Amino acid sequence: GDSVTQMEGPVTLSEEAFLTINCTYTATGYPSLFWYVQYPGEGLQLLLKATKADDKGSNKGFEATYRKETTSFHLEKGSVQVSDSAVYFCALGGSGNTPLVFGKGTRLSVIA
């Protein structure tokens, strides 16, 4: 079945450091790919998405590119802030409103 693998962390960075969180997937067909973020004590918020190969999703300085050849969707941000501290989830969705398949989440802590 479909699956998502992401680096487990925790990841601790200093403010203004560069962030990469790796995500790779296994899927049949042509899934859509998502990054969701969960701030402490809150629900899941959509951060960005990409629906086809070579699409780049971006939001709030974060970006990720759908790479079909490497089955990857790595999350990057050039300069993290303390407010980015959260758990980040990579997810894939098949066609026709099938349930999302989530990675195990990566906890990011940014220190001033």
> Rule CB under 8 A: which residues touch other proteins?
31-32, 34, 36, 38, 42-46, 49, 51, 87, 89, 93-100, 102, 104-105
Q: Min. distance of Cβ 96 from other proteins in angstroms? A: 6
What H or E segment, with its residue span, contains residue 67?
A: none
To the nearest whole angstrom, how small is the minimum distance from the Cβ of residue 79 to other proteins? Answer: 26
> Minimum distance from CB of 46 to other proteins (Å)?
6
Identity of the residue, 18 or 39, whose beta carbon is nearer to other proteins in the bound complex: 39
CB-CB neighbours of 78 under 10 Å: 11
- Closer to other proteins at the Cβ: 41 or 69? 41
Do the bridges between strand 19-21 and strand 44-50 make them parallel or antiparallel, or are there none, so unpaired? unpaired
2 vs 76, beta carbon nearer other proteins: 2
Residues forming a β-bridge with 102: 91
Closest to other proteins by CB, 70 or 97: 97
Q: What's the rounded Cα separation, in Å, for the pair 11 and 20?
A: 10
Please, what's the largest Cα pairwise distance for the chain? Answer: 43
Q: Which amino acid is present at 29?
A: G
